[in-house]
Structure 1
Amino acid sequence: MQRVLDFARPGIAFTTVPHAFRRVTHPMQLKRFREYVANNRNRRQKLERVEHFVLDRFRSARNYNLPAHDLDTVDDFVAEATKHIPKYKLDCVLNSDQSSFNYEIVSNCTLSYAGEKATYLSVKCLNAISHSYTVMPIISAAGQLFSSVFICLQEPTGRLPITRAVFSASNMVTSCSTSGKLNKSLAEYWIKEVLDKVVSNRFLLVVDQWSPQADITVYENNLTKRQPCKLLVIPRRATSTKQPCDAYFFPTIESVNKKNISSCISDELDVDLRSRDAILKLQSLVHNQLSSSLFKPMISYAWSTCGYIPKQYSNFSSVIDVCFSLDANSCSNNNCEQSAFICCSY
């Protein structure tokens, strides 16, 4: 309408308007357009503006996922955390959380014919895309990724097989459950076998509200060196923005997993990526590469983006920049004719 009114300015004959705007056929339409513009558009356009306004508000609320009264709780928690963190060395300010990964990772994108109503994707095993295992790393505010990483596999019997050797590495501790998720006994096992070995002095631990790890008595009963532990529990529904592992670190692990798996599939390697040993080897490799000092700024950024510490680094390299941005297509080893797809971060 505004374009029509701008064109039909005073001094312009109405007979020229239909040549530029074919749907304008009568002078009364110009009068009606002027009334609409004076009253902030017509009814349909007003409803569209209301619709866009409500949709924007809904998206904002959904993305933040917090009612107004919870915002104050989160702000109070961050303020409380920033009071305690300066009392500890950044190496002793820790965060640990669980992340689940499906045994078979399937891309949500695939080639399809134009106009196809349903696009089907083949997978090797339906069970593998519905069952998962759990990875539980520990990171510090100084940017360190501690070894070992805790991995909980999904086993139907809840026990690892004793008739066949299971792959093991020095940078991981492996256990299992029937669901592939952690429970109270596995949380205690993690404290004894992982946390107790990486802390020797008093430390501060930031965790979510999962009950087995949010109880201070569990740590007091299972830390063999009796290290003083200050436990900070993140409020409900705030872990996506206030949990350093969730805020930046776990998406990095997922991207490395997908890159490695995609390379194995595209190169048609004879590897069963769903097998127990393949999963453990993959997670051991990922943990080894992310433990490099090159990624300390990245891990530190995960803490600063949550508001716990000031920004320590002005810029940093992502894992894609370091490990998957190769200048050469050939392997660096002599007499190796295979193409390279990952670069060592050390």
Structure 2
Amino acid sequence: MTDPSSIGADSASGTKKKRMKGKAESIACLPTGDTAIYRRSEKGLICDRKIAKFMTEKSIKELPKVKQSAADCVALVRSRIADYGLDCLWNADQSGFEYETRPGRTLDICGVKHVEAITQSENSMTHSYTVMMTVSPGTRKFLPKLFLTLQEPKRVFGPIVTRTMFKAENLYVTASTSGKMTKKLYLQWCAEVFFPHMVDRCILLADPWTIFNDQDSVMELKPDNLEYEMLRIPPKVTGDIQPLDVLFFRMYKGFFKKISNFVILHNLPIQMHHRDVILKLHSLIYQQFQSPRFENLVPAA
């Protein structure tokens, strides 16, 4: 009489042999190179990964030139620092902030395909405003005022909003229809925020933003006793060598997101997308980053 347990074992063994035979046949059907890839994937050496960036052959061929342009820019900045010191060097850049900043990931049961999350306002998730930051590796790490451009349909704040809006000494608040900086606002930043706090000489390190191209208009606003020079960061390398992109904005936005997430997680009665709340947050965070605790953050970048 046959042992029932041996029948189950033989059946399992037969199934395993069939599976192994199927794998062997599928490998045999693959070209030589594909077979090697398949075997490496079985060992865990190769796995399926999401493509982070697509590049053309032309851009790959241009990589040496791009890297060289970055090295030349860094060398030029270092030569200016050697000639004039750190105090005259400033880096300015703009960055967009959503009216309601939320993380794109959360926890849920494994296998769930459709994950939903609560938001205070759907409209605030798709609209943004702009922050213009200016930092220096010298003694003064920041300008006294942070420049913000909020989104307003008529490009200006109404009389009631102007009268009741939260005001802080370390904020300079403007408006545009898109929430993005325009050439007019850039010149306003030069005249009202940047030049009034420059002494003797200043060197502005800026990215290839097209609005920076019109330096003739900037020179008309420059004080006569100020020596001013703009150094442009080459295209495609701002994320590698621009101080605000390399480190500072990431830290600043991380601070902002932590506060926003805490409010929403604990269901606090605060509308994070409200104009006054946004202004209060930026005023607080900008003031905190000027603390001695963070004084090495800008030079490190």
Q: Sort the TM-score into its range (normalised by shorter chain).
A: 0.7 to 0.9
Distance of 1:59 and 1:125 partners within structure 2 = 30
Is the deviation greater in 215-224 or in 275-284? 215-224
Contact between 1:135 and 1:152, CA under 8 Å: does it hold in 2?
A: yes
Residues 142 and 50 of structure 1: CA distance in aligned 2, closer, same or farther (over 3 Å): farther
Aligned to 1:182: 181
Contact between 2:102 and 2:261, CA under 8 Å: does it hold in 1?
A: no
Distance of 1:142 and 1:294 partners within structure 2 = 16
Superposition deviation, residue 225 in structure 1: 4.8
Distance of 1:151 and 1:301 partners within structure 2 = 25
5 Å-filtered alignment, 1:78-227, equals: 78-142=74-138, 144-164=141-161, 165-227=164-226
Contact between 2:130 and 2:181, CA under 8 Å: does it hold in 1?
A: yes
User: Alignment identity in percent?
Assistant: 29
Distance of 2:180 and 2:224 partners within structure 1 = 27
Displaced runs of 4 or more, over 6 A: 49-53, 58-62
5 Å-filtered alignment, 1:1-346, equals: 43-47=33-37, 67-142=63-138, 144-164=141-161, 165-302=164-301
Contact between 1:214 and 1:233, CA under 8 Å: does it hold in 2?
A: no
SS at match of 2:284: helix
Compute the TM-score of the two structures, normalised by the length of structure 2.
0.79
Superposition deviation, residue 273 in structure 1: 1.0
Contact between 1:93 and 1:205, CA under 8 Å: does it hold in 2?
A: yes
Contact between 2:135 and 2:143, CA under 8 Å: does it hold in 1?
A: yes
Distance of 1:72 and 1:230 partners within structure 2 = 22
Aligned to 1:12: none
SS at match of 2:271: coil
Aligned to 2:6: none
Distance of 1:230 and 1:84 partners within structure 2 = 10
Superposition deviation, residue 79 in structure 1: 1.9
Deviations 1:168-189 (A, max 9, x none): 1111111010001001100000
Amino acid at match of 2:240: T
Greater RCO, CA 8 A, separation 6+:
2
Aligned to 2:3: none
Contact between 1:196 and 1:225, CA under 8 Å: does it hold in 2?
A: no
Contact between 1:208 and 1:214, CA under 8 Å: does it hold in 2?
A: no
Amino acid at match of 2:149: C
Distance of 2:253 and 2:114 partners within structure 1 = 28
Q: Which runs of 5+ in 2 are unaligned?
A: 1-12, 25-31
Distance of 2:135 and 2:259 partners within structure 1 = 23
Residues 272 and 59 of structure 1: CA distance in aligned 2, closer, same or farther (over 3 Å): closer
Compute the TM-score of the two structures, normalised by the length of structure 1.
0.69
Amino acid at match of 2:243: P
Superposition deviation, residue 297 in structure 1: 0.9
SS at match of 1:98: strand
Distance of 1:247 and 1:49 partners within structure 2 = 39
Aligned to 1:319: none
Superposition deviation, residue 219 in structure 1: 2.6
Superposition deviation, residue 217 in structure 1: 2.1
Aligned residues: 268
Contact between 1:77 and 1:235, CA under 8 Å: does it hold in 2?
A: yes
SS at match of 1:192: helix
Residues 91 and 135 of structure 1: CA distance in aligned 2, closer, same or farther (over 3 Å): same
Superposition deviation, residue 290 in structure 1: 0.3
Residues 191 and 119 of structure 1: CA distance in aligned 2, closer, same or farther (over 3 Å): same
Residues 84 and 99 of structure 1: CA distance in aligned 2, closer, same or farther (over 3 Å): same
Distance of 1:217 and 1:130 partners within structure 2 = 35
Amino acid at match of 1:84: R
Distance of 1:122 and 1:166 partners within structure 2 = 27
